[in-house]
Structure 1
Amino acid sequence: MERPKSITQTEKAQAREVSLRRVWRLFTPYRWSLAIVTAIIVASSIVAMASPFLLRAVIDVALPQQNLRLLVWLVIGMVAVAAVTAIFGVAQTWISTTVGQRVMHALRTDVFTHLQRQSIAFFTHTRTGEVQSRITNDIGGMQAVVTSTASSVASNLTTSIATAVAMAALSWRLSLISLIVMPPAIYLTRKVARMRRAITAQRQRELSDLNVTIEEGLSISGIQLSKTMGAGAALIERFTASSRRLIDLELRSELAGRWRMSSMSIIFAAVPAIIYLSAGLPMTAGTMTIGTLVAFTALQAGLFRPLMGLLNVGVSLASSLALFARIFEYLDLRIDVDEPADPVEIDPAAVAGHVRFEEVTFAYAGSDTAAVAGVTLDVPAGTTLAIVGETGSGKSTLAALLARLYDPTFGRVTIDGVDVRDMRSTDLASIVGVVSQETYLLHTTVRENLRYAKPDATDAEIETAARAAQLHDFIMELPDGYDTVVGSRGHRFSGGEQQRIAIARTLLRNPRVLILDEATSALDTETERAVQRAFDELASGRTTITIAHRLSTVRDADTIAVLDQGQIIESGNHETLLDANGRYAALAA
């Protein structure tokens, strides 16, 4: 089943022109390396131009005069020229490839780093496969161009100029005849470049769709969904159709203008014949030696490769601009939740954990209704706040604002009087720990999943956190204990086991403020009680904000806030709210 196509903002952005100056800025840190490459290329081209003159001397002087000594020296000179140009070629390839790979590395890391700084809203509205395709397919598609373009331009341009000079030195009349190939070559190349660029943009969009289909159809969750919904055949059909379109696009990309380039080959092949004809005409007879004619035709034949290489670089560069447009689009994304320009210096270990929401209002992008509106809450350090309410009332949004996954539209969220927007993200992450209802485990060992929260954690610290989450005994029963691989997204374990690993991972960081967003929702009653006892012990001296549907988990909270349509309609402790006989009492009934 073919996915309907529509013109998106992304595709419009891809169509914009990319400044070559911006592309060049990627190479500026390596300008001295490129200068050395250029010098090597110029030297190599100059040395290589000695060959036709050596050949002419062999044919016109050494052989007719049977001068063996001269012949030997000329042959040695030919071998020396080949050896020197080969050495220059190795050095040039090594330097240019190193520069190209470093540029690719910088581009990949810049894109990855910039996307890491994007807010949750970006990832909510962007397909995961699309992001992966930009970083792998698009940057990978630019690799050949980035690695070889600069050296190829310098090499082919220098060789073409040196060859043209040598041809003029041998015979300026024959050189004029050779120039007839230039106008059609330039015209045809420009047309091919425009075709390739359009096809490349279309091909990369199709690769992104294919990547999305793979990511959606072959992940654990995707496989489970397709099998339980009987959608396997439709997924296969969708993948097959996308792959088939790629075949057509790849063929069009490879064959774009191929007949035009074939025409150029014919023209270049016809030029030597015209030169031989010109040399034999009565008006030119006797004006050049056989050695000059042979050397000139050898040069003219050698001009074809660098000249076509230079023109093909233009085609490749035009095609790669479509890829650069897609990469620069991501690099130009505005960061909604950015690092503060002048962050407040904070010692996370000294933070008490006094949390305040002051007239906080927030609406998700594209929504006309505020998810939370005018919320004011005061959570003294070391106390427990429970937030309850029906689904969609704004409970998780408040937690996300405290962790600064989003920034409030109005109002502010503070910890110990400091606006979270004025804190470094690393400081905030060390102060606020979140255990959400949706756990995410890495495809690695239990130990490394826990250590993800604190890379320098010792095995003893990991074990302590696991015990606190009532997880240690379960881990020790696994085949490899803490070295057991959890599998893709943790699907080897039950939902309750995954949540306990996520709880232990957060506790390993020992945050001063702990957010439990439905953290025990997947646990059975007995395990929930055990984990709740661990939370009660760890809550001493820690500010804890609990979001729950099951009121049994929040009845002992110091303060309970009831949310409805983003507003607090009740607050107090369990007994006070029951006596008020309001919304909380209705939820508890």
Structure 2
Amino acid sequence: MAEYIEEQKKRGRKTDARTIRRVVEAFKPYRLQVLLVLLAIITTTVLGLVNPLLIQRIFDDAIGKGNLNLLIIYVIIMFITPIITGFIGVGQSYLNNKIGQSVMRDFRNKLYTHLQSMSLRFFTSTRTGEIQSRLSNDVGGVQGVVTNTATSVVSNVSTALSTVIAMFIVSPLLTLVSLGLLPLFLWFTYKVGNVRRQTSKETQKSLASLTAMMQETLSVSGVLLMKTFGRQEYAREQFEKENQNLANLEVRQQLIGRWFFMFIGTFFSIIPAVVYLIAGAQIIKHAPILGGYMTLGGIVTFTTLQSRIFFPIGQMLSLQVEIQGALALFDRIFEYLDMPIDVKDKPNALKIEPETVQGKVEFEHVTFSYKRDAFSALAGKAEEEEKPKEETVEENLPPALRDVSFSIQPGQLAALVGPSGAGKTTMTYIVPRLYEVDNGAVRIDGHDVKDISLSSLSDMIGMVTQETYLFHASIRDNLTYAREDATEEEIIAAAKAAAIHERIMDLDEGYDTVVGERGYKLSGGEKQRIAIARVILKNPRILILDEATSALDTHSERLIQAALDPLMKGRTTLAIAHRLSTILAADIILVVNKGQIVERGTHEELLQLNGLYARLYNEQFTQMIPEEISAD
């Protein structure tokens, strides 16, 4: 990962060609539609020259020679041509949008799929709002470019080239006069585009920051924290500050190059007058221009062609600036798409059917460290790319686990006990490969979890964590998230086993009750029991349990314990123990301290050692005895 990030930094702005190539590749699945659009553009470009060229024929051949029949024919052609062009334009517009939206859809799908594959480490290192901004704001920001720019470039280039050729045929000198300053304009446009690109990056970073701030402070948890600590004013000030910064960047982005484009527009408006002066003087004095004479029809035709070329040239100059801004957004999208997936299946990874799993879990000399800022350089901090850093981008924190070894036999309950921050949760996270171990191995039934497919691991392992997460959906949808094909009878049986069925039936809409954002319409104990029912419905062979009962009232705690007891029966269970009853029921107790297993054994054996477990028992667990007895 560190090498990848450093490589991205070294590339800097040299990625332009690669970025453009990758954008072009995104259109490959729609090459037939693109070909049709190009054909339509060429057709409309050719048809667009018909009327300007007919003007000279009308003035010089029809009106000048008094040929009424020829005049009628020319006028009919001038009527028919824009009608045909209009119909082709409608079809072209439909294909443009169809192709563009398909490419946008593909980008969103690829980005979402790639983010789903990232390890838990990425999500703990990156703000949720930043991720959402990349997926919505950045992809949405390139919509206009993806939908219209490619065809607009081709259309404007073909229109400009064909018009220049026609102008040159009418008058080479006037053509050179009209386009003499164009190279200078192109150079200035490139410079303006570079500034626009950098400003666009800063704008999107500010937008991502604002999105993250809204996501954090306007979520249920954020609002609750903000109100209980009385930090509304602080949050408002921070929001207004970032919002003002975004507004300033938006204004700056819109004004970049406006003076330059104003000068271009003025120049294009003045040039026809210069043409009238030069060509008019030639007609009045009967003097040839580069060996040729201009007629009135020629002047009208040339100025018509001239007005036809100014628009595509102006569009191309403006598009170059817009494209530079869009490339900044594409860079941000590709940054995420290029992030390596650090936890993934090996080639020919083992596919293990859940019913064949015995459930033996082994840790063999496992060492693991969290990484500091592993993804932050790519997660909205591109402004730091050009700043020298003394420290490495990815730095190991002190080991969370140090040479950990133990074995849990099939069907056993292993209780993890230890002070806060000892490494208990980390041990539960590396069994299903939410994180990858640095050294050693975690084995299930003798197979290294790195050799087992992630889908198989997911099928054989169920987790009930301290922080219960429910979707803003019905209770039924939250339960069937574990098994989409679960029958009504199985759903009810799981809810009864988790001691939550009766409470669900008391709700107005029963299992169809929408639980609200993160389940906030339910109490903590109710959410926890629904989470337990969800795992029961999944029916995993290995259970990882972080009993979230310490913050609940006694009644809810009893109900959850009643739900947990049948859940653990017959399953290999690795439980972070918060209750004395769980510890006493454990087949083996693993005492964790500073990332190491410092003691192991049964309750009685550990008490006799008179070590850390005995101290924790005396300090924490003895106070639970009265409640445990009353609960029984």
TM range (shorter): over 0.9
Per-residue deviation at 1:409?
1.0
SS of 2:442's equivalent in the other structure is strand
Of stretches 33-42 and 385-394 in structure 1, the one that deviates more from structure 2 is 33-42
Map Cα deviations across residues 150-197 of structure 1 (whole Å, 9 max, x no partner).
101110000001111111222223222222231232122112212211
CA distance in 2, matches of 1:567, 1:355: 17
- Give distance in 2, aligned partners of 1:140 and 1:380: 52
- Equivalence for 1:459: 488
Instruction: Measure how far apart 1:369 and its partner are.
Output: 2.2
Q: Residues 100 and 148 of structure 2 are in contact (CA less than 8 Å); yes or no, is this contact kept in structure 1?
A: yes
Q: Quote how far apart the aligned CAs of 1:12 are.
A: 6.0
Please tell me whether the aligned partners of residues 499 and 522 of structure 1 are also in contact (alpha carbons under 8 angstroms).
no
What TM-score, normalized by structure 1, do the two folds share?
Answer: 0.95
| Distance across 2 between alignment mates of 1:558 and 1:17 | 60
1:357 counterpart SS class: strand
On the 8 A contact 1:207/1:246 being kept in 2, the answer is yes
Cα distance in 2 for residues equivalent to 1:287 and 1:113: 66
Is the alpha carbon distance of 1:435 and 1:126 closer, same or farther for their aligned partners in structure 2, counting shifts above 3 Å? same
Q: Does 1:444 align with 2:473?
A: yes
Q: Is the 8 A contact 1:14 1:201 kept in 2?
A: no
What residue identity is the alignment partner of 1:324? F
Q: Offset at 1:575?
A: 2.5
Pair 1:210-2:210 in alignment? yes
Q: How far apart are residue 471 of structure 1 and its match?
A: 0.6
1:483 deviates by 1.1
Which residue of structure 1 lines up, in the alignment, with residue 300 of structure 2? 294
Tell me the SS of whatever aligns to 2:293.
coil
- Alpha-carbon distance between aligned partners in 2 of 1:14 and 1:460, rounded to the nearest angstrom: 58
Question: Which of 260, 263, 288 is 1:284 aligned to?
Answer: 288
Residues 83-129 of structure 1, C-alpha deviations (whole Å, 9 max, x = no match): 12112212222222211111111111111111111111111111111
Amino acid at match of 1:127: R
Alignment of 1:549-560 (within 5 A): 549-560=578-589
CA distance in 1, matches of 2:543, 2:61: 92
Conserved 8 A contact 1:571-1:577:
yes
**AA paired with 1:45?**
T
Aligned: 1:581 with 2:582: no
Please tell me whether residue 416 in structure 1 is matched to residue 422 in structure 2. Answer: no
Code of the residue aligned with 1:27 in structure 2: it is F
Give the aligned partner of residue 249 of structure 1.
249
Matches within 5 A, 1:314-393: 314-366=320-372, 367-393=396-422
Name the amino acid aligned to 1:569.
Answer: V
Correspondence for 2:311: 305
Residue type matched to 1:585 in 2? A
| Inter-CA distance 228–9: structure 2 relative to 1 (3 Å threshold) | farther
Paired residue secondary structure (2:599): strand
Structure 2 residue identity aligned to 1:131? I
| In structure 1, distance between residues paired with 2:11 and 2:223 | 32
Distance in 2, matches of 1:428 and 1:218, equals 35
The equivalences for 1:211-290 within 5 A come to: 211-281=211-281, 282=285, 283-284=287-288, 287-290=293-296
CA distance in structure 1 between the aligned counterparts of 2:468 and 2:6, rounded to whole angstroms: 32
Contact 2:128 2:212 in 1 (8 A): yes
Residue number in structure 2 paired with 1:531: 560
Maintained 8 Å contact 1:13/1:325: no
- 8 Å contact kept, 1:15–1:322: no
Q: SS in structure 1 opposite 2:371?
A: coil
Residue 165 in structure 1 maps to residue 169 in structure 2: no
Instruction: Please tell me whether the aligned partners of residues 549 and 578 of structure 2 are also in contact (alpha carbons under 8 angstroms).
Output: no
Aligned residues: CA RMSD: 2.0
Q: Could you tell me how far 1:469 is from its partner in structure 2?
A: 0.9
Show structure 1 runs of 5+ residues with no match: 1-7
Distance (whole Å) between structure 2 residues aligned to residue 526 and residue 573 of structure 1: 28
Tell me the distance in 1 between the aligned counterparts of 2:216 and 2:83. Answer: 54
**Counterpart mapping for 1:89-104 below 5 A:** 89-104=89-104
Gaps of 5+ in 2: 373-395, 619-632
Q: Residue 42 of structure 1 aligns to which amino acid in structure 2?
A: I
1:406 partner letter: Y
Distance in 2 between residues matched to 1:512 and 1:440, nearest whole Å: 22
Do the aligned partners of 2:528 and 2:560 also contact (CA within 8 Å) in 1? Answer: no
CA distance in structure 2 between the partners assigned to 1:241 and 1:525 by the alignment: 45
Alpha-carbon spacing, 1:184–1:306, altered in 2? closer, same or farther (3 Å): same
* Cα distance in structure 1, aligned partners of 2:91 and 2:554: 69
Alpha carbons of 1:88 and 1:218: their partners in 2 closer, same or farther (altered >3 Å)? Answer: same
Alignment-derived partner of residue 389 in structure 2: none
| Matched residue SS, 1:246 | helix
Report the residue type matching 2:357 in the other structure: V
417-426 or 156-165: bigger deviation: 417-426
In structure 1, what is the Cα distance between the partners aligned to 2:583 and 2:520? Answer: 29
* 1:240-282 deviation digits (Å, cap 9, x = unpaired): 1211122221111111111111111111112111111111233
User: What residue is the counterpart of 1:24 in the other structure?
Assistant: 24
Q: Is the 8 A contact 1:278 1:284 kept in 2?
A: no
Match of 1:81 in 2: 81
Identify if the C-alpha distance between structure 1 residues 212 and 14 changes in structure 2 by more than 3 Å, giving closer, same or farther.
Answer: farther
